[in-house]
């Protein structure tokens, strides 16, 4: 249960049974919706628009909807989304779905009937994606236990409940997100997790063609299973603030067209951190994929910096090729402090691993002169991740899992 509750400042008006229903803040405009009588839960049945602040429980049934602007779930409310619900996101303004630390999400699709967020323009960066806030611990810069979010909401995050619960997301696909905000100092990812706790369930999620990271964790202790990061412009997987999830498995990244690191890992320069664990990782970079910036060195499969750590097993890496003078490695250690504080203390492990159709095999890369470089052996027993087939990982007739 959430332990923090923000005051309800504005009334919520919810529609039911109309051709076009709208969930929105009551701002004095003529009401186009009605309240469901005799129940504490409101319902959208098949069509409608999601807009404004959701401050009471809302059930969204299978159907086709519009998500308009930044939608925030707060005040102890749960937004429940049925399998087969599809949201077309408004792109003429900044739009996003944000679950605040006193809100919950229950979005449980299926392999054949996923929950989908997409746009009609199908342009990467169309909207802000899905963001969850929790109350699990973080370690931000200088060891701070709180920090300010970089998603444009400028909210404080970080708490003291490692097992905090923000809800459930299963078989959810988010397309064309990762929006740059304002002057570019703020941005969102396709999926963003701010201090989300270990009781939260994240399974079978697809981040498709966003302009920032596919998945990013800012501290917290949540774990995630069966993740697909496909065609995202920045990093496929990224974390900082000493994220510490221990039960992660089956992560697949396919970088195509534009892409930076497969994984970018840091702990905000906190040497004292708990290394997250991920079992079964497949990182594939398609031929001709370039980094966002020309001549950028961000073409390696896995980069560790600023005391970032991770214990990774059964890692399959393919297609990471040099571009010009820039070298692509299976693993790149960016700074000497990370080698001293994490590699040499056993908190960075990438083994067993196989590194195929890639340059610079059998050695780790270093952006400095190491005190003893790491080598590895390609392990033939490592195979690609296995994920369930179905509509959840199919976009416009293209099977996103075809490279597996």
Q: What is the CA radius of gyration of the chain?
A: 21
pLDDT at 10: 28
- pLDDT for position 40: 62
Decide if 230 contacts 396 (C-beta within 8 A).
Answer: no
Q: Which residues contact 61 (CB under 8 A, 6 or more apart)?
A: 43, 44, 45, 46, 82, 85
Q: What is the pLDDT along the chain (404 residues), one digit of tens a residue?
A: 444 333 333 233 333 332 333 444 332 222 223 345 445 679 999 999 999 999 999 999 999 999 999 999 999 999 999 999 999 999 999 999 999 999 999 999 999 999 999 999 999 999 999 999 999 999 999 999 999 999 999 999 999 999 999 999 999 999 999 977 765 667 899 999 999 999 999 999 999 999 999 999 999 999 999 999 999 999 999 999 999 999 999 999 999 999 999 999 999 999 999 999 999 999 999 999 999 999 999 999 999 999 999 999 999 999 999 999 999 999 999 999 999 999 999 999 999 999 999 999 999 999 999 988 999 999 999 999 999 999 999 999 999 999 99
Count of beta carbons in the 10 Å neighbourhood of residue 253: 28
CB atoms within 10 A of CB 345: 12
Per-residue model confidence (pLDDT) at position 25: 34
- Counting every residue written for the chain, the total comes to 404
At 109, list the tokens. Answer: 């699709």
DSSP label of 182: T
* pLDDT reported for residue 265: 98
Number of H helices, E strands in the chain: 1, 33
Query: Cα–Cα distance between 69 and 84 in angstroms, integer?
Result: 22
Tell me what pLDDT residue 371 has. Answer: 87
Q: What is the pLDDT of residues 209-256, one digit of tens each?
A: 999 999 999 999 999 999 999 999 999 999 999 999 999 999 999 999
Check residue 183 and give its pLDDT: 57
Nearest to 300 by CA among 384, 238, 228, 358: 358
Phi, psi angles (nearest 5°) of residue 205: -115, 140
CA distance 391 to 386: 16
Q: Please state the pTM of the whole predicted model.
A: 0.92
Please report the pLDDT score of residue 182 as a whole number: 65
Q: Domains plus CATH for the chain?
A: 12-395 (2.160.20)
pLDDT in tens, 270-310: 999 999 999 999 999 999 999 999 999 999 999 999 999 99
pLDDT of residue 181: 74
Q: Which helix (H) or strand (E) holds 338?
A: helix 336-338
Q: For residue 78, give every residue at least 6 positions away whose Cβ sits within 8 Å of its Cβ, in sequence order, or none.
A: 57, 58, 103, 104, 105, 106, 167
For the chain, first and last CA: distance in Å? 38
- As a dihedral over the C-alpha atoms of residue 39, residue 45, residue 47, residue 52, rounded to 10 degrees, the angle is 20
């Amino acid at each position: 249960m959430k332990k923090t509750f923000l005051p309800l400042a504005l009334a919520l008006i919810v529609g039911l049974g109309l051709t076009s229903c709208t969930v929105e803040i009551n701002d004095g405009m003529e009401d186009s919706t009605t309240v469901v009588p005799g129940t504490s839960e409101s319902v959208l049945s098949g069509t409608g628009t999601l807009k404004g602040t959701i401050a009471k429980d809302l059930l969204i049934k299978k159907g086709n909807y519009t998500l308009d602007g930044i939608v925030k779930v707060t005040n102890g409310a749960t937004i429940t989304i049925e399998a087969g619900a599809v949201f077309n996101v408004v792109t003429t303004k900044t739009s996003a779905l944000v679950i605040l630390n006193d809100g919950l999400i229950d979005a449980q699709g299926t392999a054949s009937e996923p929950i989908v967020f997409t746009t009609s323009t199908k342009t990467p960066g169309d909207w802000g994606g899905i963001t969850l806030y929790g109350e699990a611990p973080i370690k931000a810069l200088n060891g701070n236990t709180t920090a300010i979010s970089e998603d444009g909401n400028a909210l404080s995050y970080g708490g003291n409940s490692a097992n905090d619960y923000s809800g459930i997301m299963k078989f959810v696909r988010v397309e064309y997100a990762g929006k740059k905000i304002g002057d570019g100092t703020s941005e969102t990812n396709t999926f963003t997790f701010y201090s989300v706790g270990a009781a939260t369930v994240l399974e079978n999620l697809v981040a498709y063609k966003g302009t920032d990271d596919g998945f990013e964790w800012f501290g917290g202790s949540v774990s995630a299973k069966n993740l697909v990061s496909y065609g995202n412009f920045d990093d496929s997987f990224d974390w900082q603030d000493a994220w510490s999830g221990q039960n992660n498995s089956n992560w697949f990244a396919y970088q195509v067209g534009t892409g930076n690191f497969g994984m970018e890992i840091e702990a905000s320069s906190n040497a004292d951190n708990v290394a997250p664990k991920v079992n079964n990782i497949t990182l594939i970079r398609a031929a001709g994929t370039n980094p966002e910036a020309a001549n950028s060195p961000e073409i390696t499969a896995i980069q560790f910096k600023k005391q970032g750590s991770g214990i990774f097993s059964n890692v399959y890496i393919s297609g990471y090729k040099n571009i010009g003078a820039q070298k692509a490695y299976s693993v790149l250690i960016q700074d000497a402090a990370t080698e001293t504080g994490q590699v040499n203390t056993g908190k960075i492990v990438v083994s067993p691993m196989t590194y195929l159709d890639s340059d610079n095999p059998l050695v780790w890369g270093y952006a400095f002169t190491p005190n003893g470089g790491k080598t590895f052996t390609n392990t033939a027993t490592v195979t690609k991740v296995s994920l369930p087939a179905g509509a959840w990982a199919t976009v416009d007739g293209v099977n996103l899992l075809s490279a597996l």
